[in-house]
Structure 1
Amino acid sequence: MPTDIAPGLTLRIATPTLKLSDFKVIAFDMDSTLINIECIDEIADAVGRKAEVAAITEAAMRGEIADFKDSLRRRVALLAGVPYAALQEVYDQRLRLNPGAPELLAACRAAGLATLLVSGGFTFFAERVRERLGIDVAHANVLEVVDGRLTGKVLGDIVDGEAKKRHLLELCRQVGCPPTAAIAVGDGANDLPMMGAAGLSVAYHAKPRVREQAMVAINEGGLDRLLEVLR
C-alpha cells in the first residue's frame, strides 16, 4: 500500500530503512528528470514544429506509443534542416538543471556510488549535463549533422528503454554489484525497464504509469528529496 511519508513524497516499500551507502550504482534519465525540458521539443521550436513533436513525446512518455525507437525516428525526421547552432541556443537559453540535482549527485559521490546518465535524448546535451553534474558515464542518441544542419536522422543504435536497462546492468557488472544494489530514477515509460531491474526505483514528477510502479515517487520538490528516504 502506498504511504505518503511527507507532502509530495510517496513510498511503496514497507520498511524504508535503507541508506544511500547501501547502494553502489545510480542511473538517471535526463529530460524532465535531471533537466527541466524535453530537448527534442525545444529543438523543434526552431522550425515551428514544437507542438507536433511535443505531442508525440508526451504520448511516448505516457506509454501510449509502444515502439520508442519509431517515435524517436518520427520526431527526429521533423527536425531535418534545423541549424546545428540551434542546439547550443537550446542549451544556453532553455536548459536548466532540475532542483536538487547537484545536491543529490554530490551526496551520491560522497557515498561512493557510480553514476550513470541514460537518455533517449541526444549526446549534445547529455555530455554537457554529465560534465556539469560530475556524472561518471553518459549514453544517449547521436543526431546526424551535414553541412551544419540536422538531417533528420539518428546515427547508430537508438537508446530506448531496453538499452537503458542494458547500460544499467553493464555498469553494475563493471562495479561488481548485483542490480539490487542499483537505483534508477526516471519520469517516463521508457525508464520502466531500468527501474524494474534496479533494487530501488524512483519516479520524479513522473507520468501516472511510472508513479504507480515506482518504489519511491517524488511528486513535489527537488531530486534531493530522495535523501529523505535514503539517510
Structure 2
Amino acid sequence: MDFGTMVGMLLSGYRISMIIFAVTLVGSIPLGMLVALGRLSKFKPLSLLMQLFISVLRGTPLMLQMFAVSFMPYYVFGLKTGADFPMIAVLISFVINYAAYFAEIYRSGIQSIPRGQYEAAEVLGYSSRQTFQRIVLPQVVKRVLPAMGNEVVTLVKDTSLAFSLGVLEMFTQARAIVTSQRTMAAFAVAALIYWVTCLIIEYIMRRIEKKLDYYHD
C-alpha cells in the first residue's frame, strides 16, 4: 500500500470521527444545560433524577454505555437493528455521556454567580428568565469556557472508542492498515492528525476566551 492510499483511508475514517465529534457537540451542549437546570431545580424529584443521570453517566465507562445502547433494542425490546445502527448507538452514547459532563460544568458555573446579582436583577424588575438570559448566562459562558475546552479536546480523542462497535473511524482504519501492512506508519499519521485537530480546537477556544475578555468578573 502506497502512502497516498494509506492517507486516503485515514482521512475517510477522520471524516467519520469528525461526524461523531460534531453531532456530540451539537447534541450534548444544549442537553447538558437542560440537565444542569434540572439538577438545580427546586422540584426535588427532577433534581434527584438528574443527579442520578449525571452519576451513572460519569461513573460508568463510555465504552460500556455504547455496548448497552447497541444491545438494548434486541435484548430488552426484541427488536432487530440494521447495519447502520452501530453508528447511531455511538452517537446516542456520546451525546448523553458528554451531556452529563457538560451539565456538571454548567452547574458549577451557575452556582459561582454571586447571589447579589440575582437580587439586583429582581430589584430592576427582571423576571427569572430575563435574569438568567441577560445576566447569569453571559457570565457562566465565560467562566466555564476553559473547562469546556478541555472536554472538547478530550472528545476528539474519545471518538476512537467507536472502534468497539465496528464503526470505521480513523483509529479503526489505522489499526486495520497496521495489521495488514505490518507497519506503524498509519498509527503515526493518525496520531499527527489527532494532535493537529486538538491544536486547532485549542486555538479556537483561546480566541473565543479573548473575545469574552471584555466581560470581567
Q: TM range, normalised to the smaller chain? A: under 0.3
TM-score relative to the length of structure 1: 0.24
Greater CA radius of gyration, 1 or 2?
2
Higher helix content, 1 or 2? 2
TM-score (norm 2): 0.25
